[in-house]
Amino acid sequence: MTDNQDLIDLVRTIPDYPKPGIQFRDVSTLLLDGPAFRRTINRLIALVDPASFDLIAGIEARGFIVSAAMSYALEKGKLMLRKPGKLPGKSVSIDYALEYGTDRIEMHVDAIRPGQRVLLVDDLLATGGTAMAAVKLLRGQGAVVEQALFIVDLPDLGGARKLAAAGVKPEALMAFAGD
């Protein structure tokens, strides 16, 4: 992680959202600043070797924003990992636990070819529940997932350790202590 104080200053903290005790790190304020968003995407791109992956998978919803911008800049295909019922074709899904409940993500069954290398992208890494579900879902369809990028990491919640233990290198532009 490099010094990204210019970006850190644009991330808003919302206390007690979505439930008491949670300090929600909101990147929407960073996304409102066009030049800062461009710097964010450029810095994320600098963390990867574009030759090391074929597709970029973005997790709904903020992960779509980041992955779409990276896909455009790198001329890579973009795979959508969606909430249930949003995909029109045949899909495969996985349930997972969040720090404040449960959820499910899904993808089209024909979105990847076995052996395709996929870079996972989302806005924030907390407990790792969503990211780990995405990795399991992608790998279950034959993808090779070795790296995941995030704007924000909450290292105290252990998501980066879970990804690393699963053989996925997690990287983020910034980290915030606590939850």
- Give catalytic residues, as residue numbers: 62, 99
Rounded CA separation 24/131 (Å): 17
| Tokens read off for 164 | 């690393």
Residues 6+ apart with CB under 8 A from 87: 80, 106, 107, 108
Cα–Cα distance list, 110 to 28, 56, 57, 107, 138 (Å): 32, 15, 14, 8, 11
Over the range 2-37, which residues count as b (16 or more CB within 10 Å of their CB) and which as e? eebeebbebbeeeeeeeeeebeebbbeebbeeeebb
